Structure 1
Amino acid sequence: MPKKEPLVLFYTTFFSKPVDVASIQCDLPGEFTLDKRRIAEATAVVFHIPNFREIGDAWRYPGQYWIAWYMEARSNYKIIKDQKLMRHFDFTMSHERSSEIWCPYLPNSRWWDTVRAKPIGAKTEAAPVVAFQSAPLNYSGRLDLLKSLAEHIKIDSYGRYFRNRTVEGPDRGRKTKIETVSRYKFCLALENSTETDYVTEKLFDAFEAGSVPIYLGTSNVHEFAPPGSYINAADFSSYAELAAYLKYLIVTPEAYEAYFAWRSKPLPDELARLVQDRDPPVFYRLMQFVHQVTDERGQERPAGRPTLPFGPRAYISTRLRKWRKRVPS
């Protein structure tokens, strides 16, 4: 009997937008779908936990694998810490390295090669520090850092929080951000949480722009970046001390330029291994994992009736909510 190819169903949206399954590049046998009518066929069902309000009407079929997907810090979405909800999932797909399917913000090897070869742009802005801060989440104390540091050194802030500058010309999103940051000596890369492994695009955007990141976030950031490539705000006893160090770098070009020395060297072995682990696209690794667990279990799925893990009340309320918001069912 030929082996049945896995079917992976994305049951929820991703921050209210459907997952773009048409763009997934995966040459492994199997199929990705958004069609909830095929849930009985699905080998694995993926639920984006920040969209947990879309989950309540899901039927669970015997032998299925349910996967909880999130890339947000647990402090930002406390539902991730809700054991009553999370016990329904067999595996996790997240930025946490303890997840069965690891999906970090860490860029792939091609990105690192491109950034290392990219020239450092001229620092033409009068202010030495730039910030793009829009969300109010402050579990790391980042809003306090931004406000207090600005008392000691000039910061151009383009985000919704503490805004004192606006971008020149049309705002083309991330491209405009990178171009803007490239004109500054330093860029505030402030995470909203200090949880382990939570290193987001903020750090990597600064690298790409050719600006020295001033990082606030997880204590294991050193695992995700070359040594000597960023300034860790946690290393300073006060904002005044941090500002004094930045001013020293401004008037000491050789000390400032040392923060770009990593670009002319291979990635450190530990970081290179992480990048290698991350290199296959996340949905490729998802399908690879589904193959692995399916092979371990065998092809036969147990017989039995589907269940409503979250109960009839959650089923009805979820269906009504989707109907009102016109979310596909």
Structure 2
Amino acid sequence: MSLSSCQMTRQRQFASGCFLLVCFLVILFTYYKPEIEFPDFRDYLRRGNHSCECPVEAHIQDSNLNRSSEQQVEAPTDGPQHIQDVEVDAEPDTLLLIWTWPFGSKFDLNCDMFNYKGCRLTDDKSLYQQAHGVFIHHRDIHGNLGNLPSEPRPWFQKWVWMNMESPTHCSKLPGLDNLFNLTSCYRSDSHIPVPYGHLVPQTSEVESFQLPTKDKLVCWIVSNWHDGHKRVQYYNELKKHIQLETYGRAFGKNVDDQNYAKILSSCKFYLSFENSQHTDYITEKVFNPMKLGTVPVVLGTSRENYEDHIPGDSFIHVDDFSTPKELAERLLHLDQNMTEYMRFFDWKNRYKVEGSQFGREHACKACRYLEKNKGYQASHSLTKWFWDQ
């Protein structure tokens, strides 16, 4: 055999051997799957290289470990499974802009006392375009609406109409309809109701109620005096049948805060006469005497409406009597019957009075409302809702 023939024979043998080796390896990997260890993907991510195309399962698993700072993104069902981590900011605080300070009286721009997190109050009008809500006090709106924001309203922004006066004592203003999104006032059907006061359950063991020392039967403190007021007309009749102790600017006896509490607590009954009669218009004239251990004699909205806010056995309503004389007779009777009188304080074993914080509470509750109610709202018929019913 020649040299070239020998070389050709060796080549054929080598090729046959390689073929057999390949076949062997195919069979081996088909029926026996060795465990192959790859580098830890988490270690790779920690080194800061996120640009590779990586196994989807490993990436999602790692994202779950860091969910507080990264947003998980699903891989597309087709195409290259290349996923990038998406950084997301924490949701910003809800921002409420105080456009008009109620009666010019500023309050603390902090809602922590109400345990409202995520609410921020400001009076910086340069933040108008960022504000989620604009807080506007009715009595501080100019008649031509000229002091309201003039810039276009951002699509996400809501205007909050705030007012604690009754319809009788605040003017209708043209143009209010379709201008505000939300209302905040003493009315229960307001979007953000803030009554002048309310009763809350006693959360701890209550000491037996001790009646303050009483040296007066019926008292009244009043400054706003108009002969046409129903309360003035009722007073003029009532005083004919019972002795009344009167104070306030209307009687030339100004009362400061310290004397106010002292006078109220020293009276068995207090004339909680409102300056006008409207649904839910129940002011501090009722809640302050209750807090100080005095029985309020109320003139205002209906008894049923009062009982929506305070227990029916905690007050006396003038409508329960056909004449002021009959009311006077009832008060004189209770003056001589202590057991009967003390029943007006049974509620103190179950509740305590809390007053509202004018302005600050409205703003904080409005901010809280905006935080929880992001959908669109509007108050189309503000005039009809507040003044015309």
| TM-score, normalized by the shorter chain, greater than 0.5 | yes
Letter in 2 for 1:61: R
Residues 23 and 62 from structure 1, CA distance in 2 versus in 1: closer, same or farther, beyond 3 angstroms? Answer: closer
Distance 2:338 2:289 in 1: 19
Runs of at least 5 residues in structure 2 that lack an aligned partner in the other structure: 1-87, 377-389
Letter in 2 for 1:102: P
Question: Which residue in the other structure is 1:213 paired with?
Answer: 296
Which one of 142, 145, 167 corresponds to residue 74 of structure 1? 167
Question: Where does 1:131-170 land on structure 2 (aligned, <5 Å)?
Answer: 131-136=220-225, 141-163=230-252, 166=253
The 10-residue stretch of structure 1 (22-31 or 221-230) with the greater mean CA deviation from structure 2: 22-31
1:155-206, Cα deviation, whole Å (9 max, x unpaired): 111112245xx47xxx541x42121111111111011121111111111111
SS of structure 2 residue aligned to 1:46: strand
SS of structure 2 residue aligned to 1:85: coil
CA contact (8 A) 1:129 1:188 kept: yes
Question: Where does 1:255-294 land on structure 2 (aligned, <5 Å)?
Answer: 255-264=340-349, 266-267=350-351, 282-294=362-374
SS of structure 2 residue aligned to 1:109: strand
CA contact (8 A) 1:138 1:193 kept: no
Q: TM-score, normalised by structure 2?
A: 0.64
CA contact (8 A) 2:218 2:245 kept: yes
Distance 1:15 1:117 in 2: 41
The Cα of 1:214 is off from its aligned counterpart by 0.6
Question: Which residue in the other structure is 2:185 paired with?
Answer: 94
* The structure with more radius of gyration: 2
Letter in 2 for 1:290: L
Question: Which residue in the other structure is 2:96 paired with?
Answer: 8
Q: TM-score, normalised by structure 1?
A: 0.75
The 10-residue stretch of structure 1 (54-63 or 111-120) with the greater mean CA deviation from structure 2: 111-120
Question: Which residue in the other structure is 1:246 paired with?
Answer: 331
Question: Where does 1:23-102 land on structure 2 (aligned, <5 Å)?
Answer: 25=113, 26-53=115-142, 56-57=146-147, 58-59=149-150, 60-63=152-155, 64-79=157-172, 82=173, 84-102=175-193
The Cα of 1:253 is off from its aligned counterpart by 2.2
CA contact (8 A) 1:75 1:139 kept: no
The 10-residue stretch of structure 1 (95-104 or 57-66) with the greater mean CA deviation from structure 2: 57-66
SS of structure 1 residue aligned to 2:348: helix
Residues 68 and 135 from structure 1, CA distance in 2 versus in 1: closer, same or farther, beyond 3 angstroms? Answer: same
Question: Which residue in the other structure is 2:85 paired with?
Answer: none
Higher relative contact order (CA 8 A, sep 6+): 1
The Cα of 1:108 is off from its aligned counterpart by 5.5
Distance 2:317 2:207 in 1: 21
Which one of 105, 108, 112 corresponds to residue 196 of structure 2? 105
Distance 1:121 1:90 in 2: 46
The Cα of 1:115 is off from its aligned counterpart by 9.6
Runs of at least 5 residues in structure 1 that lack an aligned partner in the other structure: 298-329
Distance 1:118 1:194 in 2: 32
Question: Which residue in the other structure is 1:178 paired with?
Answer: 261
Q: What is the percentage of aligned positions where both structures have the same residue?
A: 26
Aligned length: 277
The Cα of 1:281 is off from its aligned counterpart by 5.1
Residues 111 and 285 from structure 1, CA distance in 2 versus in 1: closer, same or farther, beyond 3 angstroms? Answer: farther
1:202-229, Cα deviation, whole Å (9 max, x unpaired): 1111112211111111110111111211
Distance 2:294 2:183 in 1: 34
SS of structure 2 residue aligned to 1:223: coil
The Cα of 1:284 is off from its aligned counterpart by 3.8
Letter in 2 for 1:31: R
SS of structure 2 residue aligned to 1:189: strand
- What is the root-mean-square deviation in Å for CA atoms of aligned residues? 3.1
Residues 27 and 70 from structure 1, CA distance in 2 versus in 1: closer, same or farther, beyond 3 angstroms? Answer: same
